[in-house]
Amino acid sequence: SDLLMALDSQSIAAEVAEQSDINKGKELIFSHMERALSEVGSRCSLVLLLMRTVQKQSAPSTVGPSTSAATSSNVSSDDSSAAFADYGSGVAAHLVERLSKLNKKSVVNGVLAAEYPRYFRIVQKFAEVAEPLLVVGGYASAQAWVAKVVEDVEKLFEAHVAEKQRDKLQQIITKVNGLFPRQGADSTVVDL
């Protein structure tokens, strides 16, 4: 399906590798992710709406034609909840798998780590839309699913930030050392 191709790590990595401009490669990665997660989010919203409708129709009612429609359709609330849980579990697991494979591609994970806030926002936006689906799919919350998805990239981002801080600290130490002469055998030390 188109959604599977949108998050196919092999094809994305190949497309990015063909790009001579890093910014075009970066935009390519994020456009694939945004398109796929937006489409899955839209489908999740439709499934949520369908589930609520089925549950509403199968709920006991004392008045109205919905009671007879629910009993004639033989769809119970438990059946719809189980189907929804299976769907939620499948979608959540499949997205974790696809995004994890994508995160492990060296040509991709460097971009995601460098652009971690953007990556996090995209995943978070999807999770907000699909939270009921993710929860019935086995995650304690949408935030738990987000944490699982971004875990590897977050570690790379933290390492990237730590490296930048070390470099900056080294530059400061070098400047400070240049301002004050080192104490040596020839130098005079003034003790205040």
What pLDDT is recorded for position 69?
A: 43
DSSP 83-129: HHHHHHHHHHHHHHHHHHHHHH-HHHHHHHHHTHHHHHHHHHHHHHH
Question: pLDDT tens, 159-175?
Answer: 888 888 998 988 888 88
Question: What's the whole-number average pLDDT of the chain?
Answer: 81
Measure the CA–CA gap between 7 and 29, rounded to whole angstroms.
9
Q: Which residues contact 99 (CB under 8 A, 6 or more apart)?
A: 7, 33, 123, 149
Cβ atoms of 140 and 134 closer than 8 Å: no
Question: pLDDT tens, 119-161?
Answer: 999 999 999 988 988 888 888 888 999 999 999 999 988 888 8
Single-letter amino acid, residue 133: L
Cβ atoms of 28 and 19 closer than 8 Å: yes
Specify the 3-state DSSP secondary structure of 182.
coil
Identify the residue with better confidence: 191 or 103.
Answer: 103
Cβ atoms of 141 and 133 closer than 8 Å: no
Cβ atoms of 119 and 37 closer than 8 Å: no
